[in-house]
Structure 1
Amino acid sequence: MSYSEPTTKEWIRSLFEPGQLLFWAMTYYVRENVDAVFRRGQVLAPLLQTTKLRDEAFGKFWVAFSTTPSDEPGPQQSLLENRVQGSSDLIPPILARAEGIVLDVGPGTGTQMPLLVSPNIKAIYGAEPCHGLHAELRAKVEAEGLAKKYTILPCSVVASDLIPAMQKEGLLINHNAGGGVFDTIICVRVLCSVPDMNRTIRELYTLLRPGGKLLVTEHVVNPWMTPKGSIVARLFQATYGFLGWSWYLGDCCMNRDTETALKKAADRDGGWESVELDRWFGGSPLPYISGVLTKKGTPFGPWDM
């Protein structure tokens, strides 16, 4: 797919769009605090339950954000025009490569669900720690006819949470060192918010079967020291971080070098079989990497557990 460099007007708009998102998230946090004090009578909640209120506010914000129509052209229109116009356009061609037994990391409200209906997918396990998003996620699963294929795991992808949830579903019965469990692992806009990104990516790597694929579409630190980056956009990233981006937006970090962490995850096995990663939107505070990383080895037969 092709990508046209933005006009000056579009570039300036891209610099301020994350600020609008941050302000929107802030209003939900303020509203949640006001409700706690004046509607529920929890006068000290803003001081004693800060994290709880923040998480509840983010859950409500994310439901609203993910269900609000965008004014940008939809991915289907962009695909027809064979042009990438926004980050959502990067997702369909990547998820089209999902197959076998799939781990969907942080599916949120299930906005990617229509892209996971391929007959090549045997089963999907969605690890979503925010319980406030489960109702919307379950509704999307049912709407797409995936109720028999999709299982919601009420946990994060931190090993101490994920492994017990997987064991409960019987997923580790034949698991062995290096053997892996999943044929495909999907990471779409989630690695920015895991507590320890490097460790999480290494753990996800071990869960891939030989020949398994890690499908990635993630926003990353602006590569401002390269020709594809922008020092202005990097400064905007730092400014949004100072204003509380991570706090109000579910621990999301704008300045992670996700690409390097992904490539290093396979070092113990001599690297990945293949790494197909492209960079996009280098002039924006929300630049992206998108692509597929394939684990060395020969895939196991017809996805037998």
Structure 2
Amino acid sequence: MTAAVDNPLFARLWVVLAAHETAKIKALRMENLAGLSGRVLEIGAGAGTNFAYYPDTVTEVVAIEPEAHLLEHARAAAAAARIPVSVTEKTGEALANDPAGDEPFDAVVCSLVLCTVFEPGTVVRQAYSHLRPGGELRYLEHVASAGSRGRVQQVADATLWPRLFGNCHTHRDTESVITGAGFEVLAARHTWTMPRWAPVPVSEFAIGRAVRPS
């Protein structure tokens, strides 16, 4: 899907949420980007929250963000970043028809985005195709939970949650999508950003490193 994304209410809410992230989520963002180097493709930059956390060993970030209001904020964050960052308006699905540069990337970063895209399998396969052999996919995503929370997620996804929160689907098996695209997972773990008892469908996160085999 290549059409522009228009979620003005959610985009404005996300800008506020991004400016007030918890210390736990900030630490996860830094962990997800730690050790990166070279040229990086970031899919779904949102308000550009990641840009301040990239290490100096990264020589360039090419970021994509299809939502117009978020794009404006991402470009402002890019201008203030310590490393070169450019932000273009396109969807992850559109990378097949409009590649993000002519050379392969050393890494692709996905942070809280694979829940919102219309075709997660297509987006992850495009991430794979834009990586050099041996290049890494770094992901930080909330994922499907088991048991009663998983049932809550399924109800949320089938009702108002995606409409209210920018097409966010809380019960996606994102890690299976990643391995199904051909990636080899090197390290991954699940963590909770809120107490387990809290009735919030987006509390369980997966953070991991996957590689395009050489």
C-alpha deviations, 1:176-202, integer Å up to 9, x for none? Answer: xxxxx1101000000111111112212
Instruction: Return the match for 2:171 from 255, 258, 271.
Output: 255
- Alignment map for 1:49-88 (pairs within 5 Å): 55-67=7-19, 69-70=20-21, 72=22, 74=23, 86-88=24-26
In the TM superposition, what whole-angstrom CA distance separates every residue of 1:250-304 from its partner, at most 9, and x where no partner exists? 11101100111111211xxxx62x521112239463211101012222xxxxxxx
Letter in 1 for 2:107: T
Contact 1:102/1:184, CA 8 A, preserved across alignment: yes
Asked if the contact 1:214–1:293 (Cα under 8 Å) also holds between the matched residues in 2, the reply is yes
2:6 and 2:96 mapped to 1: Cα distance? Answer: 27
Tell me if the contact between 2:79 and 2:85 (Cα under 8 Å) persists in the aligned partners.
no
* 2:117 is the counterpart of 1:194: yes
After superposition, the CA RMSD in angstroms is 2.3
Instruction: Give the deviation of 1:153 after TM superposition.
Output: 1.4
Question: 2:129 maps to what in 1?
Answer: 206
The whole-number CA distance in structure 2 between the counterparts of 1:255 and 1:242 is: 10
Q: Is the 8 A contact 2:78 2:87 kept in 1?
A: no
Return the match for 2:108 from 185, 189, 192: 185
Candidates 158, 162, 171, aligned match of 2:95: 162
**What is the SS of the residue equivalent to 1:155?**
coil
Is 1:232 aligned with 2:148? yes
Compare the two structures and name the one with the higher strand fraction: 2
CA contact (8 A) 2:6 2:67 kept: no
Identity %: 24
Distance (Å, rounded) in 2 between the aligned partners of 1:166 and 1:142:
23
Q: Secondary structure at the match of 1:62?
A: helix
8 A Cα contact 1:190 1:218, kept in partner: yes
* 8 Å CA contact 1:277, 1:292 repeated in 2: yes
- The answer to whether the Cα contact below 8 Å between 1:87 and 1:288 also exists between their aligned partners in 2 is no
Partners of 2:5 and 2:67 within 8 A in 1: no
1:79-136 residue CA offsets vs partner (Å, 9 max, x unmatched): xxxxxxx3443221220122111001111111111111x2311111011001111221
Q: Which residue of 1 aligns with 2:44?
A: 106
Question: Which residue identity lines up with residue 150 of structure 1 in the other structure?
Answer: V
SS in 2 for 1:262: helix
- Alpha-carbon separation, structure 2, partners of 1:256 and 1:133: 23
How far does residue 242 in structure 1 lie from its aligned partner after superposition?
4.0
Q: Which moved more, 1:120-129 or 1:234-243?
A: 234-243
1:276 to 177, 181, 187: 187
Q: SS of the counterpart of 2:207?
A: strand
Q: Does 1:130 align with 2:46?
A: no
What SS is found at the alignment partner of 1:129? coil
Q: Matched residue of 1:162: which SS?
A: helix
Contact 1:189 1:217 in 2 (8 A): yes
Q: Which has the higher contact order (CA 8 A, sep 6+)?
A: 2
Distance 1:155 1:64 in 2: 23
> Aligned partner of 2:30: which letter?
P
How far apart, in 1, do the equivalents of 2:5 and 2:209 lie?
37
> Normalising to structure 2: TM-score of the pair?
0.86
* Residues 110 and 54 (structure 1), Cα distance of their counterparts in 2 relative to 1, 3 Å cut: closer
The structure having more radius of gyration, on CA atoms, is 1
Contact 2:95 2:126 in 1 (8 A): no
TM-score using structure 1 length: 0.62
Give the aligned partner of residue 95 of structure 1: 33
Structure with the bigger percentage of helix: 1
* Distance (Å, rounded) in 2 between the aligned partners of 1:53 and 1:209: 29
